[in-house]
Amino acid sequence: MSERQQQSFEDTVSHRISRRKFVAGSIAAAAILPSAGAMGASEKSGNKICAFIKFLQSLSFEQLAETIAELGFDGIEATVRDRGQVLPERVEEDLPKLVEALKKHNLEITVMASSVNSVDQPHTEKVLRTAAALGVKRYRMTYYRYDLNRPVTEQLDEFRPAVKDLAAMNRELGISAVYQNHAGARNVGATLWDLHSLIKDLPVEEIGVAFDIRHATVEAGLSWPVLFNLARPHLGVVYVKDFRWNGRKAENAPLGQGQVDPKFIPMMKRSQFNGPISLHVEYLGQKGIEPNVAALKNDLATLRSWLDSA
């Protein structure tokens, strides 16, 4: 073996060892939970469970795939958006690489978090066409916003044509959109009634709801079951996370330690929803990869216990 070949061999081995050490270190930082990586998250529940990777997106595609596989998820909610792991302008180059890295570990992009809410945006068709060709089945839209100095009903009428045009593109490409109910005074869909008025006549295969129990509880308090009832015919994905009230501010919290009622899971199962669940861990923010990996592992254990006992 030549000196150059020897050096190349050593560099390859070093890279593999470093990558394995990283994954092992991240998982070791989490609480030790039996068979977390050995059993797919959906094996007992029937619902695929994916991890929203917002705070892990600085990892390489391979590191991300290894980490998510070790945690025991079925897939990821990828960030293919402005400031995401895959940028819209580079979707044709980078999204296939992410999909390939995930496939090596029997994972998928269960949901693609996007910057899309109109066919007129510069990268919409390219992003959706690329994703659909790679087998991505659904993407999360970004939000429409209200101008609270104007009547909201007029603004909903203005949003309606954009929603219908996007639904038509989804139908053509064979991909589904989901719109998340996100708390906030200016967010269309925060209380779900306005979102219902926009999508009630559209097939869920074109545009559905990503029902977020955390945000529904913030906005509706004890009446969150009404919002779930409203969303159920249009349900594409369920988002699970938790929060606590700090005065008038809703602060993210570990699952099971906040205001979200565990009774939501039995209600979801009784509704016979068999689509995916996306687990969101946002209470640590930018505090580093290892703490967020640990949080994902712990919250996945809580979610599994709720599903198993429902």
Among 260, 228, 284, 305, residue whose Cα is nearest residue 52: 284
Over range 65-73, report the average pLDDT: 98
**Dihedral angle over CA of 167, 169, 172, 178, nearest 10:** -50
Binning pLDDT at 50, 70 and 90, where does residue 13 land? very low
pLDDT digits (tens, 9 = 90+) for 120-164: 999 999 999 999 999 999 999 999 999 999 999 999 999 999 999
Rounded Cα distance, 188 and 122, in Å: 22
42-69 burial: b if 16+ Cβ within 10 Å, else e? beebebbbbbbbbbbbebebbbbbbbbb
Please give the pLDDT value at position 198: 98
Please give the pLDDT value at position 99: 98
**List of domains in the chain:** 3-309 (3.20.20.150)
pLDDT over 50 (residue 41) = yes
Average pLDDT in the chain = 90
Please give the pLDDT value at position 46: 87
pLDDT digits (tens, 9 = 90+) for 174-185: 999 999 999 999
pLDDT digits (tens, 9 = 90+) for 108-132: 999 999 999 999 999 999 999 999 9
Please give the pLDDT value at position 31: 44
Please give the pLDDT value at position 102: 98
Question: Which two structure tokens, joined as six digits, stand for 86?
Answer: 């895959």
pLDDT over 90 (residue 26) = no
Over range 78-105, report the average pLDDT: 98
Among 310, 308, 303, 309, residue whose Cα is nearest residue 73: 303
Give CA 241 to chain center in angstroms.
11
Please give the pLDDT value at position 22: 52
Among 225, 208, 310, residue whose Cα is nearest residue 266: 310
3-state helix, strand, coil in the chain (%, to 5): 45, 15, 35
